[in-house]
């Protein structure tokens, strides 16, 4: 299967030794200044980058490029994009997002979306790449919400499709597997009635958002759900996906907030259960030959070190998946 080849220039900027390493894109050094006591755990991004840098020597980290206005407009209302950039969002819109506006907030949002775009371009060539942040699935076409400004998942999917179509004159079938504990309402709304992007969300049924937007496949789980029923539900959902669509590219939102130590999650998955969840997704992608990207989504651990440990397990498995992809056919 021929895939889009956007991002070749980005790859050529890397030293040759880094072309034999998995790529991860980061934007945490574009610091979003938050008021003292703000409940969003911004520190988790730099903590994750530090651990990946010191523990996963097979991963090469690259600064995320800023998404362009044209790229954002593939999934967002241009007037909304302009309002974010210019700082003219209404007080109501900012309350929905949960962050105060600043030039740094706008820049970081551009970089977070750009990281998923860049990862998707690399994944088309190398099988898998990732965003050390992203997963901003509550942002819809014309508004943000739930700490999400731009929907990096939707923008990356649209860029993939556009660049694939330029080469093949055929629409790329994208699958979004959203395993954040919160339902992906923004992603669902952007792709409503669009069969070229299939959205799967496995989430806490009674958790935020309380007014959910229907995905192509929603699996709502009860509070307190543990490892075994969660993994059974995920396996059943992936089987259902194949009955309804033939995906060619996978975007995996690997939220850490389904872990039992998350203060907002309300599910009870152990660290081993979270690893089994990730492994199931990687094995499924491997079985069906799907290039994929990973993005981090939520994670609000009572102890942030636990959240980052869950995310590190995801990255270790992702790197093993990357190695498998490079060794195919050998």
Residues with catalytic roles: 138
User: CA 214 to CA 211: how far, in whole Å?
Assistant: 10
> Torsions phi, psi of 272, nearest 5?
-65, -40
User: CA 319 to CA 223: how far, in whole Å?
Assistant: 32
Which residue's structure tokens are 């967002």? Answer: 76
CA distances from 265 to 50, 106, 262 (A): 25, 27, 5
CA distances from 115 to 9, 76, 157, 257 (A): 15, 17, 13, 21
Q: What is the largest CA-CA distance in the chain?
A: 57
Beta pairing partners, 197 = 174
Q: How many CB atoms lie within 10 A of CB 15?
A: 8
User: CA 67 to CA 122: how far, in whole Å?
Assistant: 15
Q: How many CB atoms lie within 10 A of CB 42?
A: 15
142 neighbors 77 (Cβ within 8 angstroms): yes
250 neighbors 175 (Cβ within 8 angstroms): yes
Which residue's structure tokens are 């703000």? Answer: 38
Token pair, residue 183, equals 């339902």
Residue 98 contacts by C-beta under 8 Å, 6 or more apart in sequence?
Answer: 40, 145, 146, 147
Token pair, residue 79, equals 């007037």
Give the pairing of strands 128-131 and 292-295: parallel
Which residue's structure tokens are 């998404």? Answer: 67
């Amino acid at each position: 299967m021929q895939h889009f080849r956007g991002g070749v220039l980005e790859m050529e900027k890397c030293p040759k030794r880094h072309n034999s390493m998995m790529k991860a894109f980061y934007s945490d050094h574009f610091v979003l200044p938050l008021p003292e006591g703000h409940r969003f755990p911004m520190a988790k991004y730099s903590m994750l980058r530090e651990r990946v840098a010191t523990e996963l020597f097979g991963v090469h980290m690259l600064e995320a490029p800023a998404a362009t206005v044209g790229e954002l407009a593939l999934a967002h209302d241009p007037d909304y994009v302009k309002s974010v950039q210019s700082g003219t969002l209404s007080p109501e819109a900012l309350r929905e997002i949960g962050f105060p506006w600043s030039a740094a907030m706008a820049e970081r949002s551009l970089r977070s979306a750009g990281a998923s775009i860049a990862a998707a371009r690399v994944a088309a060539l190398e099988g898998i790449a990732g965003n050390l942040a992203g997963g901003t699935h509550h942002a819809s076409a014309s508004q943000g919400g739930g700490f999400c400004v731009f929907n990096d998942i939707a923008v990356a999917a649209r860029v993939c499709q556009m660049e694939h179509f330029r080469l093949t004159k055929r629409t790329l079938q994208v699958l979004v597997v959203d395993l954040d504990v919160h339902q992906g309402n923004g992603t669902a709304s952007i792709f409503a009635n669009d069969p070229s992007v299939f959205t799967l969300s496995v989430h806490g049924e009674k958790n935020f958002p309380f007014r959910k937007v229907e995905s192509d496949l929603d699996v709502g789980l009860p509070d307190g759900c543990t490892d075994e029923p969660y993994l059974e539900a995920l396996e059943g959902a992936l089987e259902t996906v194949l009955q309804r669509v033939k995906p060619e590219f996978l975007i995996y939102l690997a939220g850490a907030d389904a872990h039992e130590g998350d203060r907002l999650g309300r599910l009870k998955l152990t660290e081993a259960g979270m690893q089994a969840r990730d492994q199931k997704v990687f094995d499924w992608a491997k079985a069906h030959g799907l290039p994929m990207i990973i993005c981090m989504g939520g994670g609000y651990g009572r102890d942030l070190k636990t959240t980052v440990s869950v995310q590190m397990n995801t990255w270790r498995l992702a790197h093993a998946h990357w190695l498998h992809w490079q060794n195919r056919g050998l």
